[in-house]
């Protein structure tokens, strides 16, 4: 309605101006209309001035309208300024627009306050900074960690802890590192992770800092308890028969705590004693083998990493395992995405890990008709390179999944229980990890994060 009035007003002014221009032209043809010509000329100039002023008035109004919105001024003052303009009917629209804007600002402020609360509530230290290393946000946990009130630049961390500052400076986006360090006399195992994202075309980096010492200590104790159970079981399996057989030999060769004369020993007693000694020898060899296996997973292995083609590695593995797949009727496939993916690893060690996993997959099949093993290399959403070994064999129960990486734990009669533990150690030496998820009789996936 307001715009219609404005349109009519402009149209009438233009029509009147054109009419006066026609009259002025007609009067010019009559030389004796001098006063009329002068009057019409002045009138045309005045009408033109009024038209221009009217249009400028509308432009000024809209300029003020936008300025009031920009500067978040109240509607009261602007409403008064509408009284002497042809746009006073727009006041209701202005109120509606202003209310929408104010509500949006209130909602934005509420969201900001909510995020600020969460940001400061979490126990993980968080520091956000821009490409010039200017700190944009630092939460309470980070301030408490370093014992500071504020931080203007990420480079100032060098004053509080040089190791942490250096670790942050060399971290790549998405990379995580555990750093043993000391802050204010307290020993910490600090997990440091860097994320990078864009905010309104502005590159922002976010550092998370978390002391995981208590979690690591708890996991270490738990690991020792698991290892202790396995070691106790394995050692007692050998020691108990040895003790029993030693007592048996002692009973055979002694009488009333005195050693029997050789001529008093019957052939049967001598044979029993020899059999017992043979069994003791076998169990001793078994115990010796066990110790050698234990040493094999605790020995310091030094990887020699090089850049390798994952596709070529998979091709070589397929060729190496081809006969095993043929004998067992397993369909084997491998994919690498992207095809030119490369890894900076010790090829021999990684190959050994993958062969071990593939052999485990082969042994996991029962009487299933359709047997398949997939070897997949890809990059996940967080730009993490990973390799997956997938089979549709019998699977692993939830209880076993929690135990399979414990040294010497095995569910196979002829298993040594060191394969998966060894694989995990190899991945750790490469700064990676390995995990397993399984749905029994459907799918089992071992994932290597590299």
Q: How sure is the predictor about 216, in pLDDT bands with cuts at 50, 70 and 90?
A: low
For residue 421, pLDDT beyond 80? no
Averaged pLDDT for residues 8-19: 78
Phi, psi dihedrals of residue 80, rounded to the nearest 5°: -65, -35
Q: How sure is the predictor about 411, in pLDDT bands with cuts at 50, 70 and 90?
A: low
Picking from 12-26, 33-47, 67-81, 305-319, which range would have the lowest pLDDT averaged per residue? 67-81
Contact present, 391 and 444 (Cβ < 8 Å): yes
pLDDT at 82: 54
Averaged pLDDT for residues 332-345: 86
pLDDT at 180: 81
Q: How many CB atoms lie within 10 A of CB 311?
A: 17
For residue 53, pLDDT beyond 60? yes
What SS3 class is residue 43? helix
Averaged pLDDT for residues 342-357: 83
For residue 261, pLDDT beyond 70? no
More confident residue, 262 or 150: 150
Averaged pLDDT for residues 219-226: 62
Picking from 65-79, 114-128, 175-189, 316-330, which range would have the lowest pLDDT averaged per residue? 65-79
The model's pLDDT over 84-130, given as tens digits with 9 standing for 90+, comes to 555 555 666 666 777 777 777 788 777 777 777 777 777 788 888 88
What distance, in Å, lies between the first and last C-alpha atoms of the chain? 68
pLDDT at 414: 47
CA–CA distance, 199 with 40 (Å, rounded to integer):
62
Q: Residue 240 corresponds to which tokens in the numbers above?
A: 């108990």
More confident residue, 309 or 160: 309
Q: How sure is the predictor about 415, in pLDDT bands with cuts at 50, 70 and 90?
A: very low
More confident residue, 407 or 151: 151
For residue 226, pLDDT beyond 80? no
Averaged pLDDT for residues 195-220: 75
More confident residue, 236 or 134: 134
Question: Could you tell me which residues are beta bridge partners of residue 138?
Answer: 127
Percent of the chain with pLDDT over 70: 67
Phi, psi dihedrals of residue 181, rounded to the nearest 5°: -155, 175
More confident residue, 359 or 298: 359
Averaged pLDDT for residues 64-74: 64
Averaged pLDDT for residues 390-396: 80
Q: Is 209 exposed, middle or buried (0-12, 13-18, 19+ CB in 10 A)?
A: buried
């Amino acid at each position: 309605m307001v715009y219609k009035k404005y349109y009519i007003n402009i149209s009438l002014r233009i029509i009147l101006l054109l009419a006066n221009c026609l009259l002025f032209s007609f009067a010019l043809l009559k030389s004796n209309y001098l006063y009329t010509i002068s009057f019409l000329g002045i009138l045309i100039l005045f009408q033109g001035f009024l038209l221009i002023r009217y249009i400028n008035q509308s432009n000024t109004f809209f300029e003020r309208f936008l300025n009031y919105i920009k500067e978040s001024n109240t509607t009261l003052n602007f409403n008064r300024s509408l009284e002497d303009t042809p746009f006073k009917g727009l006041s209701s629209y202005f109120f509606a627009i202003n209310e929408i804007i104010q509500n949006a600002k209130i909602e934005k402020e509420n969201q900001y306050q909510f995020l600020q609360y969460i940001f400061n509530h979490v126990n993980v230290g968080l520091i956000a900074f821009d490409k010039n290393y200017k700190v944009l946000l630092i939460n309470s946990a980070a301030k408490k960690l370093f014992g500071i009130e504020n931080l203007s630049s990420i480079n100032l961390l060098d004053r509080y802890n040089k190791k942490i500052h250096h670790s942050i400076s060399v971290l790549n986006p998405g990379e995580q590192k555990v750093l043993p360090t000391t802050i204010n006399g307290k020993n910490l195992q600090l997990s440091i992770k860097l994320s990078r994202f864009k905010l309104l075309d502005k590159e922002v980096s976010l550092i998370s800092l978390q002391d995981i010492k208590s979690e690591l200590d708890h996991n270490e104790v738990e690991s020792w308890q698991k290892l202790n159970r396995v070691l106790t079981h394995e050692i007692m399996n050998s020691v108990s028969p040895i003790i029993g057989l030693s007592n048996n030999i002692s009973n055979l060769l002694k009488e009333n705590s005195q050693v029997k004369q050789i001529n008093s020993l019957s052939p049967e007693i001598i044979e029993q004693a020899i059999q017992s000694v043979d069994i003791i020898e076998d169990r001793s060899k078994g115990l010796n083998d066990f110790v050698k296996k234990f040493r094999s997973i605790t020995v310091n292995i030094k990887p020699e990493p090089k850049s390798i083609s994952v596709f070529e590695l998979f091709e070589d593995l397929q060729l190496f395992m081809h006969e095993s797949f043929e004998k067992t009727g397993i369909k084997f496939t491998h994919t690498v995405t992207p095809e030119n993916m490369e890894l900076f690893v010790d090829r021999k060690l990684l190959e050994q890990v993958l062969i071990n996993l593939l052999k485990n997959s082969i042994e996991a099949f029962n009487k299933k008709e359709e047997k398949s093993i997939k070897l997949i290399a890809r990059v996940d959403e967080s730009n993490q390179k990973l390799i997956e070994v997938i089979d549709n064999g019998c699977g692993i129960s939830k209880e076993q999944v929690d135990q399979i990486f414990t040294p010497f734990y095995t569910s196979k009669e002829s298993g040594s229980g060191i394969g998966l533990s060894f694989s995990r150690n190899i991945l750790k030496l490469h700064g990676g990890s390995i995990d397993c998820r399984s749905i029994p009789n459907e799918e089992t996936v071992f994932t290597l994060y590299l």
